[in-house]
Structure 1
Amino acid sequence: MRNFTVKSLITLLITSSALLLTPMKSDAQVNMTRLAQVAKSCQEDMFSSNYYKRMGFDTNSINQYLRNSYNQERAITDCISSRYHYSLVMTKYAWLDSTGEILPGYPGSVLVGSLANYFEGIYHTTSILDCIANQNLSSEKCPLVATFIANGTAFRGEWFYHYTVNVCPSCVVAHDELLGSKKEIFKAFVQWFLTLEKTQRRELISLLGDGDEASKLRLAIISESKAAVKKYWEVRQDIQEQEQERRRQEILGN
């Protein structure tokens, strides 16, 4: 699956370690320990045939796709962004970890993270509470939820750059068993949501719901995730430049 040069492989292996050693400024937005853990997992998974096999994907087509260096960088970027984002959500709402699954192998927390990511901060009106109350995805109140609740088709036919693919392979399997049915996955989500305690429901609506505060919260999580991606590539660039300088000095006999 891997198509990196030896130099690239070495860079990948040491980047996550370098992230842990990078001093943080007092006003730094990125949690470097979190980023190092996320980067390590992404570097292990994004170029692993076994990772994609777990989701039933055609590894030959993925291998072909990842021969391109731009696609390699895009895969790492999207993975770090998604996993860092999900880690932030799970840290802020730690109780999500014990709330169970919407479908076998599909934790409700993953769909919460996915919706928070896709709703972004630009949508001030998600109408998710109205959608849940009406339990009707085709309602005029639900266009945004209907767009992002599921893929509408199997991920294995359109695998790249999806939050769920990057975060939860077992969720992809559950999603694809229903052929990405928006109606069925929304129904499962509503049933899961209604099992939560009232305080937990209110907390999730404060993240996924309407209004400026929810929008600002989603945007803050996304902004930190983007900053984490930027920091990763900055550290990796520094490593490459240091290695280039080391080789120059070796040539000069220094």
Structure 2
Amino acid sequence: MNKTELKEFLDEKVVQYNNPKFIESDPIQIPHQFSKKEDIEIAGFLTATIAWGNRKSIIKNANRLMHLMDNSPYEFVLNHTESELEKLMFFVHRTFNGDDCIQFIKSLKNIYINHSGLESLFVKHAKKDSLQTAISKFKEVFFEKEHLTRTQKHVSDPLKNSAAKRINMYLRWMVRQDNAGVDFGVWKNLSPSQLSCPLDVHSGNVARKLGLLKRKQNDSKALLELDTALRKLDKQDPVKYDFALFSLGVYEEF
């Protein structure tokens, strides 16, 4: 396929998959349970954090976590008691355990009280055409309070060669203006043009087959290569192609 044909093909796949039906089998359904901005962004962040492995398991455990937070994540983050935190000790998803969960709640509270919330923190360190440095700065602030060293592994750092798939997916959810009703676009002070594609096994393999990506490892260098290619297809909304690449891999075994 030449560039024009490739763009037409991928644009068709975006239309096919970027619609409310996508929500039914995707972890993004968890923050869709809420209407308040802060509830959406906290539910989204915690869900994205555990979004690896079997998607049914991710959705099941994310729902359980919302239940443990009384289905009011923002209220819980700001006003939890020590006894309420203890309920989280029994939460586990793969290597993310109760200690990690409690630390995340404490770190989120610090961000809302001392850094004006999640959106403000990312906006502060955003670059014109990238949020990767902002992700690294976010991790630095997230763990500025006393914490268990083991918990740091659950927030990726693009400046340490990670593709940071889950947090880039989270940023897509929060920032991207989606007329189809999937992504939220509740963060108005960042632009979809700054986003990076959530690079995982599925999107990476499809991107390589389509000639969008040559690097074999799914790391930050591969992410930059893929971002550069997708921006040539749509500079204003490059990560809309995540729907096409991911879905071609998962649903069509492309």
**Do the two structures share a fold, i.e. TM-score over 0.5?**
no
Higher relative contact order (CA 8 A, sep 6+): 1
**Larger of the two Rg values belongs to structure:** 1
TM-score, length basis structure 2: 0.29
